[in-house]
């Protein structure tokens, strides 16, 4: 599989973030998740409890910074079919984990 990313990723060490949006059943949600593989344009969000699909829009906040993201793909935790991972791409807003990118 070829690499399509335009910038390198930073591991993230399970950066705690708040995620909110509307799930596939039309139910609003807000929950804590963990961001990994960080870049200024995207991340992998882990431990999402809601059912989501590629193309869905969600909000993500870390500390006082928040942005709107589009879900690129969804994966499932091995051993637990109720939690998902979501690769996301930032659409607008300030990068929530910008400080974490510069600490590396």
- Which CATH fold would you assign to the domain 15-102? Pnp Oxidase; Chain A (2.30.110)
Rounded to an integer, what distance in angstroms lies between the CA atom of residue 69 and that of residue 13?
20
Residue 88 CA to its chain's centroid (Å): 5
Q: What is the pTM of this model?
A: 0.84
Please state the domain extents for the chain.
15-102
Q: Which residue in this structure is represented by tokens 């869905």?
A: 56
pLDDT for position 1 = 39
User: Which residues of the chain, if any, have pLDDT below 50?
Assistant: 1-3, 5
The tens digit of pLDDT for each residue in 25-42 reads 999 999 999 999 999 999
Q: Which residue in this structure is represented by tokens 């590629």?
A: 54
Rounded to an integer, what distance in angstroms lies between the CA atom of residue 36 and that of residue 30?
19
């Amino acid at each position: 599989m070829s690499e399509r990313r335009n910038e390198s990723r930073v591991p993230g060490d399970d950066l705690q973030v708040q995620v909110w949006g509307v799930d596939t059943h039309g139910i609003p949600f807000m929950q804590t998740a963990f961001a990994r593989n960080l870049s200024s344009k995207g991340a992998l969000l882990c431990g999402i409890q809601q059912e989501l699909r590629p193309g869905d829009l969600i909000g993500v906040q870390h500390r006082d910074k928040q942005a709107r993201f589009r879900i690129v793909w969804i994966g499932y935790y091995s051993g637990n079919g109720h939690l998902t991972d979501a690769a996301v791409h930032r659409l607008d807003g300030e990068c929530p984990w910008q400080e974490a990118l510069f600490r590396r």
